A and B are shown apart, each in its own frame.
Chain A
């Protein structure tokens, strides 16, 4: 039964993650008064790309060819640490949030290397921006996890989220609100969404994530797109586990709450994108520093309280 549950967790995560981008696009279209694309658009795109061949430039090395697979496998590894519906992730050990963070950092590192491998000045520019934003986004994640760890007294991701329950919201509502806010900003940054990056634009001078994958095509591009959706799923699942903590004995009902939280996060991203413009590139680090300040505030408040 336990193995079946784990298998379900993995399959659900792999199958449902591309749906998040579909939901975002659909809600954005509704906001703009359009019918919009199908919510399954990313599935079609991935399927279409997988059936095509990849084109490689003469200047790239083997690194560029390996990178998409490496990025996807590293992102899936990170996703396996994340609890699903209040249940333990496949990988879980004390201090695993440090491992988690560096697995994602490694995936970012591979993406940056592959972008620089193309020898394109635009991709190098995007890589430089991605590296710069990572410097600001990692402290936000660590500070949020340390605060959650302080609230729950646990040092593993599963331990932290398994201890979160509705009664904690009664006592720590403001601290948890601050954490949800900073994790939401982090999700927008990691998933390259507005106001950090605009996935709809294709102007090399202002792009960040998209510019780094301009040379990828066919299955390689499909892997990277899929990895992005899994990354978004990971951060949305953190937010879902905080806003709708539920640990009943009924696995299916917990899962429903968990999935509802994830899809709500996607709707929140779409609403943010609909009401807000993309930030000027120079102001992006400031916004991330603001998120860091908020998570530091949550930590200090929690320490001050206790």
Chain B
């Protein structure tokens, strides 16, 4: 079972790589969903016994992150045709460098912090990396859907970190975070939809130029 978990952690890291590399918002949403499903499956694999509560919660997370959020975001993308041509401000070479920097920073940070955890060897760096990738997506991408995806990636990282550090997470805390994300994506989705209908564009750079006439 541990080997499967190790491969899942590896897949989470690969998702970060694709997230920083791809510039199409639909690809970002796809990789965010894959990463969300993978991180949700991690706590299930780490416990040796079958727990109903944890399983039900994981299924709930998989549904939200794997199906509901991508559905909302893909709807926004389909409404706005310009999204298919979205480009980042930096090239693929810079993406690779960014990725490597984020990776080194995460490994260094997890080595410095030296958590006492019985969890998998790479889960802490992977979670830091996911958090930093989410932050980079929010900062570096101009399109709002990409920024929402960044927010979700950030949450994936926090969830991954939580499942690494705490063996049994308090359900209430997890449920609260999940509810926050649910409401945030829902509200952001609606807001973006309304902005798009009003101004015909949802590039955050263009939004900054808005002024009263």
A residues within 8 Å of B by Cβ?
A: 170, 173-174, 177-178, 283, 285-287, 289-290, 292-294, 296-297, 300-301, 304-305
The residues of A that contact B91 with a CB separation of less than 8 Å are: 286
> Is B6's beta carbon under 8 Å from chain A?
yes
Instruction: Please count the residue pairs between chain A and chain B whose beta carbons lie under 8 angstroms apart in the complex.
Output: 51
The stretch of B79-87, B97-105, B188-196 in contact with A is: B97-105
Asked if B96 and A286 make an inter-chain contact with CB atoms under 8 angstroms apart, the answer reads: yes
The residues of A that contact B92 with a CB separation of less than 8 Å are: 283, 285-287, 289-290
The residues of B that contact A178 with a CB separation of less than 8 Å are: 10
Interface centre among A292, A300, A305 (most CB of B within 10 A): A300
Interface contacts beyond A173-B6, A294-B17, A296-B103: sample of 9 additional A-B pairs, CB < 8 Å, sorted by A:
A174-B7, A174-B9, A174-B122, A286-B92, A290-B17, A290-B21, A293-B99, A300-B103, A304-B107
Asked if B17 and A293 make an inter-chain contact with CB atoms under 8 angstroms apart, the answer reads: yes
Proximity bits, B92-134, A CB within 8 Å = 1, else 0? 1101110110011001000100000000011001000000000
Asked if A174 and B10 make an inter-chain contact with CB atoms under 8 angstroms apart, the answer reads: yes
Minimum CB distance partner of B6 in chain A: A174
The residues of A that contact B107 with a CB separation of less than 8 Å are: 300, 304
Find A286's partner among B9, B93, B122 (CB 8 Å cutoff).
B93
Asked if A301 and B122 make an inter-chain contact with CB atoms under 8 angstroms apart, the answer reads: yes
Minimum CB distance partner of B9 in chain A: A174
Asked if B111 and A292 make an inter-chain contact with CB atoms under 8 angstroms apart, the answer reads: no
The residues of B that contact A285 with a CB separation of less than 8 Å are: 92-93
| B46 nearest CB across to chain A (Å) | 16
- State whether A290 and B96 are in contact (beta carbons under 8 Å apart), knowing that A173-B6, A177-B7 are contacts in the complex: yes
Q: Which 5 A-B pairs have the closest CB atoms?
A: A286-B92, A289-B96, A174-B10, A174-B6, A293-B96
> Is B34's beta carbon under 8 Å from chain A?
no
Find A296's partner among B21, B100, B111, B121 (CB 8 Å cutoff).
B100
Interface centre among B9, B93, B96, B97 (most CB of A within 10 A): B96
The residues of B that contact A287 with a CB separation of less than 8 Å are: 92
The residues of A that contact B99 with a CB separation of less than 8 Å are: 293
- State whether A173 and B104 are in contact (beta carbons under 8 Å apart), knowing that A297-B13, A305-B121 are contacts in the complex: no
A218 vs B158: C-alpha distance when bound (angstroms): 63
A267 vs B141: C-alpha distance when bound (angstroms): 39
Proximity bits, B1-27, A CB within 8 Å = 1, else 0? 001001101100100010001000000
25 pairs from A and B in contact (CB 8 Å cutoff)? A170-B3, A173-B7, A174-B9, A174-B10, A177-B10, A283-B92, A286-B92, A286-B95, A286-B96, A289-B97, A290-B17, A290-B21, A290-B92, A292-B96, A293-B17, A293-B100, A294-B17, A296-B100, A297-B103, A300-B107, A301-B122, A304-B111, A304-B122, A304-B125, A305-B121
- State whether A173 and B3 are in contact (beta carbons under 8 Å apart), knowing that A297-B13, A304-B111 are contacts in the complex: yes
Interface centre among A174, A285, A292, A305 (most CB of B within 10 A): A174
Question: Which residues in chain B, 125-184, are within 8 Å of chain A measured between CB atoms?
Answer: 125
A8 vs B81: C-alpha distance when bound (angstroms): 61
| B106 nearest CB across to chain A (Å) | 10
The residues of A that contact B125 with a CB separation of less than 8 Å are: 304
| B112 nearest CB across to chain A (Å) | 12
